[in-house]
A and B are shown apart, each in its own frame.
Chain A
Amino acid sequence: MTIEKIILHYESKKENLLPAIKEINSRLGFISSKAVNLLAKHFGLKRAEVFSTASFYNDIRVKSSNKLIIQVCDSAPCQIRGADRVLSVIENFFHQKAGDDFNSNVKIERISCLGHCAEGPNVLINGTLYSRMDEGKVIEIISEYIDD
């Protein structure tokens, strides 16, 4: 029901496809095959066309999302300020490598520049940006997310 409601806010124009996909993604966490069907119907497109757009972008997920998503920027400016040390501390904490899929609760990812390079290393935890991270600080923040 909610997906249909979201879609109804958008006029059936091709330029509204990505904004609609983005809103569904931000409300429900990912684009389900049900959402793809409904979007295709609303915009008069093939399901493959909707899916090809949805699967292209980094911010849009096409698999059900994990409870805790930790994204570490590993672009050059953050790397120079020690992003790899921060990442390896996180990997050791969860006993899980960046990009691994086996844990349905936690996902660790390497991502590209977020545009806060002067304050690196930057870490996104469930979409919230944390700047000027180091090995100690990042674990302190992560433990706030998992204490229950």
Chain B
Amino acid sequence: MSEIKIITKNWGLINPISVDSYTKKGGYRTLYSVLRNSRPAEVIEEIKRSGLRGRGGAGFYTGVKWEKAARAKGIKKYFICNLDESEPGVYKDRLIAENNPHLLLEGILIGAYAIGAREGFIYLNGSFHLAKRLLENALKQCYEKKILGKSIMGTTFDFDLKIFVGAGAYICGEETALLNSLEGYRGEPRFKSVYPCEEGLFCQPTVINNAETIVNVPWIIKNGAEKFSKIGSKNSPGTKLYCLNGMLVKSGLFEAPLGTSIRELIFDYAGGMQLGFDLWFAQIGGSSGKLVPLSLLDKLVGYGNGEEISIGQGAILVVHRGYDIKKLILSWINFFQRESCGKCVPCREGTFRLKLMAERLVSGEFDKNDAEDMKKIIWTLENTSFCPLGKVAVTGLKDVIKYNLVKELKG
């Protein structure tokens, strides 16, 4: 087990309601030196060299995104922190905001300076009440200390940050749906002819980063890109917050480098299975993630090439032997059926039909025709959905068929 900690280093040591306890641990010093000594392009270059990838699941290079936004032309630029975390099994962003809200703000400020944004939002999940209170408090302190607002820390950099609280919609974590929600529309995804970093909020260049991506930024600037790129694997450098759930001895959140094997995460970090429970398989990346049977447990996680299993947002769910997997299937489908926004037909109707089938599967009325129809629906969802929600809704189900975990589905 490695002891490198970037994000969780000061958790529990600093008081999340006090800005002084953060500055005592060296907080906001990186921002100060960036504002005084570096040009925006240098910050972007440093992030690019570090190879930091988006922690929201897609793994897009953060530096590339920032560079595009910095080059794009617009009246005004926006920097948005995506904290609308609602994937089943993930709670890393909530814990970031609850344990060290000022680290998040420092990262946002450095990012905003790099792309030249004057206004920013934190899009917060509506059910994170404690995180909301702590962030509001942190914002107030920053405005008092001149870390936010006009002429930050005595420089010419101005930045306004607001908290925007969502109202419970999974799809609003998708960046274009998030933008629609911020603008007061239904949170339905947009067609990505142009990426938000060129034309986003109110048609202006907008960077949308996951909260975990942002909290890596101060460390990278302080310690240098080389040091960061040495942690983790070659294609996916850095550490990651993993949320391990299920019948584990220590279920919860752990920070470990990317490129750790799944076996190590489950047995070394989370202490293995509880007494009386046997590991059957694991699901990596929340309800939209792939299944990993015992034979693939030594694979490494990351965002990189085909060798690595994509970790997504960082959720690992362990399923114990003897658990009724049909109920798990119903739970996945129920989730996606509820959270489908209804914009495109394949996703709206497909998830509904799959739900009826999953209910038949649980009650034992599932027959051969259903199994064939299910394959057709899976194909349709994967190939014709408008946004990734429809595509990932069947990842788990597809793997159940692939590894032949339920004999009725064989068809």
Contacts and interface: CB of A to CB of B under 8 A. Distances in A.
Interface of A: 14-19, 21-22, 43, 52-53, 56-60, 74-81, 84, 110-118, 120
Contact of A118 (B243, B320, B339): B243
A80 B125 CA distance: 24
Given A14-B184, A53-B185, A74 B334 contact: yes
21 contacts: A21-B167, A53-B184, A56-B188, A57-B167, A59-B168, A60-B168, A75-B89, A76-B89, A76-B283, A77-B89, A77-B315, A79-B328, A80-B319, A80-B320, A112-B88, A112-B170, A112-B338, A113-B335, A117-B245, A117-B315, A120-B245
Interface of B: 85-91, 94, 125-128, 164-170, 181-188, 243-247, 251-253, 283, 286-287, 315, 317, 319-320, 323, 327-328, 331-332, 334-335, 338-339, 341
A115 B94 contact: yes
Contacts of A111: 338
B315 to A, nearest CB: 8
A77 B335 contact: no
A84 B185 contact: no
Nearest to B125: A115
Given A57-B167, A84-B327, A112-B170, A77 B182 contact: no
A77 B167 contact: no
Contacts of B126: 22, 57, 59
Contacts of A58: 167-169, 338
B317 A80 contact: yes
A88 to B, nearest CB: 12
B169 A56 contact: yes
A70 B128 CA distance: 18
Nearest to A52: B186
A19 B164 contact: yes
A43 B185 CA distance: 13
B183 A15 contact: yes
Given A15-B182, A43-B184, A79-B327, 13 more contacts: A15-B184, A18-B164, A22-B167, A53-B186, A58-B168, A60-B167, A78-B88, A80-B323, A81-B247, A112-B335, A113-B335, A115-B94, A118-B91
Contacts of A52: 185-186
A117 B335 contact: no
B245 A118 contact: yes
A56 B88 contact: no
B246 A80 contact: yes
B38 to A, nearest CB: 31
B331 A76 contact: yes
Q: Which 6 residue pairs of A and B lie closest in terms of their CB atoms, listed nearest first?
A: A75-B88, A57-B167, A58-B168, A17-B184, A59-B168, A113-B88
